[in-house]
Structure 1
Amino acid sequence: MMTRRLHIKWLMWGVGLAAYMLALINRSSFSALGPAAQDHFGAEATVLSSFLVLQLVVYALCQIPVGVCLDRFGTSWVIASGMFLMAVGQLVLAATSLIPVAIAARILLGAGDACIFTSVVRLVAEWFTRKQTPLVNQITGLAGQVGQLVAVAPLAAVIGAFGWFSGFASLTAIGVVILLLVALTMRDGPGAGTILERLTGRKTDIQTAGTTLPADTGPIILTEVLPVVGPGSSGIRPAVVSLMKRPGVRLAFWVHFSTMFAPDSFLLLWGTPFLTGGLGYSDAAAHTILNIAIVASMVGALLFGPILSKYSEHRVMLALGGVLVMFASWLVLLIWPGTAPFGVAAVYGVIMSVGIPLSMVAFDIVRTHAPKRQRGVATGLVNMGGFSAALITVLGIGLVLDLMHAGTPDTYSLEGFKAAMSVQIPLWVLGGTMILIETPKARRYLRERAR
């Protein structure tokens, strides 16, 4: 019984982690399939971009509704809904070669994907102590990158060997299995029932001694704000307006905005076309660089976790430093005369991937500045930052490629890709500037509230 008590929280996290890993596979499923997807659908670069752009738009727009649903219906229901939507989306994508239907499928994937990450973060907060939460969140992010690894070479190999339908239908089958695990085993917190138990009215009494969480203490501003939903709630719009008035929440948004869009646009869609069609590398070399980048992001998560815990007062400057290094490395790649050597592109992949673990700084800032009753909505609001920038980048790259008449695998060119990838520069400038503007405001706000 004691072993069961001690291990129940790890089971809950494990099921949530499986859902998150599959969400990353689904999100990244075009990362190594850009040219193959264009051939399958007969699409140009802008149309290919629209697949991912609409998915990211839906993901971003769903963040606040997902936060509200988490407060109202609980983690397990939200994750289960996400798994169902993603399973249907991948099945539709597997069965069609029609662009409008495929776009609708990617929209379903975006909505389902939006349900997972915020829910897993919430699940960790409910089951683990305040001291354990940062480490578990970093491991969650690290393990999620395994999903991106699977989406690079293995998924491409499966589709190459067994065909488009079999590859995407297999993701549907995995999603159904995880959905069943969520329904049968996941509990929103100690003492809560599973989905099956709530539907049937039967509840298994699981003793959770050793998982009771301590008081939520620390440098978090706790104000008497109204909950977003439920009796006496403020409503969604007033809560969002109130949160956006907090400089720390705005700072978290811009940190996530600045750190996420480059690795997302590279790893989710345009990495393989740029490396093969622009730089002229082989598919194997391109997949190697993508894998190096993903592994580097996993190593970065292991390194940054302890650093951010020990030097939390410097977390914003660390994130800003990462943004500047990513910006500089991309400039080197763009101004390199002719085709950059494999080693230079690999180094860029490593540096660019640092943005993924650095983006977690945004959620640490949220915990410091957002009221506890509104933290779910605040997390969703901040999570919109990086994905909003990513969808602008993905669409911008596709538009510029088409304007340069380099928007298909047959017309890809190095000059076209260098021009297209430059759309990232103004986003880095905007994000870095806003971080510098909001940081002193956020610090002043904390000092005033501490008096």
Structure 2
Amino acid sequence: MTSSGDSLPTLQTRRWGRFGPILFWGLGAFAYIIAVTNRTSFGVAGIEATHRFNIGPTVLSLFTVLQLLVYAFAQIPVGLAIDHFGPRFMLAGGAILMASGQLLLATSHSAPPAILGRAVVGLGDAMSFISVLRLTTSWFPVNKVPQMTQLTGLLGWFGQILSAIPFAALLHLRGWSTAFNTLAIVSFASAAVTLLFLRESPNASAHRSWPTKKSISENVSAVWRNPAMRLGFWSHWTTPFSTNLFTLIWGVPFLVKAEGYSKYAASSFLTIVVVAGAVAGLILAYLTSRHPTHLTQMTYSIAAAQALTWAIALLWPGRVPGVLIVILLVTLSVGGPGSLIGFAHARRWIPVERIGTADGFINGAGFLAGLIGMLGVGVMLQWQGSYSLTAFKIAFAVQFPIWAIGVMQVARYNRKVGEFKWQDS
């Protein structure tokens, strides 16, 4: 069962004109870019955080682990809220929460309130991407949704550029408080733009109502029974976690402490993920729309490429050559666009009125896997007592069991989804 037909946007096109869907999707994508900037900002500030708060690798990992833990576990309630209240207020509310979290981080001089600030950022970030997905599903016909979803993810990578270059430069030149206060101001501005100018599809908002306990229970149960959702969940678990682990926290410390690069060079390395990810997003947008029956094979290929490249890098004697680091980053760049394959599974089988709930389940998977990996790396580094090259290589090996679990579960639910027929409640 598909979620909608090609004629879905007739009402909104008549009211807003042919460019209305692009305009409102663009406003949502802008809010998502700012959310990604908030999400990834701590990835270039890890070394400064160790000095500001006088902390070791385990506590440092808690900043991002708690952020992503909140993000992951907020996905289902956020998905339910989007189904009932719509993406506009969820996007604005998320931006306000992220701004508040960054203000707390900017003014903190000890670890506990700073970690709380990152958790608040995670909660606000949780409201962003699946709100834009819901906006995309309601404004565009079903045959255009895969391309627009990949384009949304592609544009989100520019948030990584904003954190890796201008935010990192501001942090190094003007200091901790100025950098995070500036990001808070930008987030408040994003919330204002969303509230003032974003409009939702009339088709999507016409039948929205206050949720009841029964409707929530039925919604969650119906989505959970569908193995396509669980296939999407494990697909999302498998592809982006290594990318998040590297770009959100451990990439810069590894490149600076173990590989000997400067902070500026390490931050610049992360832009490779963005540029290569943009190209990968365009390619996967084409493949997912033209070959929807081969989504699982794409997931297998991405996971295999990432695991193989990491294995070569970790087994390489001595420091990893710059060329191999670039190859590793290019391989990791496919993880972000590849994670959107999980949502493509959902859109083939789940009706539009429940897609927000399904997106909530799926979108938490990669971040849950990522936070397990991040904490695992932190614990392994703490156990070894150093940031040496050998310590990092041993610590990064915690990723391989996560890939193994994901691939096995993808294979399991890929078999089941072909036997399933949606039973609409």
TM-score, normalised by the number of residues in structure 1: 0.86
Q: Which of 359, 368, 380 is equivalent to 2:339? A: 359
1:388-432: CA deviation from partner (whole Å, max 9, x where unpaired)? 1011011111111000001xxxxx101110111111010011111
SS in 2 for 1:30: helix
Q: Paired residue for 2:379? A: 399
Q: Paired residue for 1:134? A: 146
Aligned counterparts of 2:325 and 2:250: Cα–Cα separation in 1:
14
Q: Paired residue for 2:394? A: 419
Aligned counterparts of 2:310 and 2:258: Cα–Cα separation in 1:
14
Q: Does 1:325 find its partner at 2:305?
A: yes
1:116 Cα offset (Å): 0.6
Query: 1:34-433 to 2 correspondence within 5 Å?
Result: 34-190=46-202, 230=210, 234-406=214-386, 412-433=387-408
1:179-225: CA deviation from partner (whole Å, max 9, x where unpaired)? 111111111213899xxxxxxxxxxxxxxxxxxxxxxxxxxxxxxxx
Aligned counterparts of 2:301 and 2:26: Cα–Cα separation in 1:
33
1:355-378: CA deviation from partner (whole Å, max 9, x where unpaired)? 111111000001123243322111
Aligned counterparts of 2:215 and 2:208: Cα–Cα separation in 1:
5
Q: Paired residue for 1:201? A: none
Aligned counterparts of 2:256 and 2:394: Cα–Cα separation in 1:
16
SS in 2 for 1:390: helix
Question: Larger % of helix: which?
Answer: 2
Q: Paired residue for 1:30? A: 42
Aligned counterparts of 1:303 and 1:295: Cα–Cα separation in 2:
13
2:83/2:354 contact within 8 Å kept: no
Aligned counterparts of 1:23 and 1:377: Cα–Cα separation in 2:
20
1:3 Cα offset (Å): 11
Q: Paired residue for 1:7? A: 19
Aligned counterparts of 1:424 and 1:229: Cα–Cα separation in 2:
43
2:83/2:353 contact within 8 Å kept: no
Identify if the C-alpha distance between structure 1 residues 336 and 135 changes in structure 2 by more than 3 Å, giving closer, same or farther.
same
1:55-96: CA deviation from partner (whole Å, max 9, x where unpaired)? 101111111111111122221111111011011111111111
1:129 Cα offset (Å): 2.3
Amino acid corresponding to residue 87 of structure 2 in structure 1: T
1:145/1:297 contact within 8 Å kept: yes
Q: CA RMSD in A?
A: 2.3
2:84/2:211 contact within 8 Å kept: no
2:284/2:338 contact within 8 Å kept: yes
The unaligned stretches of length 5 or more in structure 1 are: 194-226, 407-411
1:228/1:374 contact within 8 Å kept: no
Aligned counterparts of 1:378 and 1:13: Cα–Cα separation in 2:
20
Aligned counterparts of 1:365 and 1:2: Cα–Cα separation in 2:
30
Greater alpha carbon shift after TM alignment, 334-343 vs 5-14: 5-14
1:98 Cα offset (Å): 1.5
SS in 1 for 2:19: helix
1:228/1:373 contact within 8 Å kept: no
1:230 Cα offset (Å): 4.8
SS in 1 for 2:41: coil
Amino acid corresponding to residue 151 of structure 1 in structure 2: S
Greater alpha carbon shift after TM alignment, 345-354 vs 125-134: 125-134
Aligned counterparts of 2:354 and 2:138: Cα–Cα separation in 1:
15
1:279 Cα offset (Å): 2.2
1:68/1:228 contact within 8 Å kept: no
TM-score, normalised by the number of residues in structure 2: 0.91
1:381 Cα offset (Å): 0.5
The unaligned stretches of length 5 or more in structure 2 are: 1-12
SS in 1 for 2:43: coil
1:297-343: CA deviation from partner (whole Å, max 9, x where unpaired)? 11100111112211111111111111011111100011001111100
Greater alpha carbon shift after TM alignment, 99-108 vs 183-192: 183-192
Identify if the C-alpha distance between structure 1 residues 91 and 328 changes in structure 2 by more than 3 Å, giving closer, same or farther.
same
Identity of aligned residues (%): 36
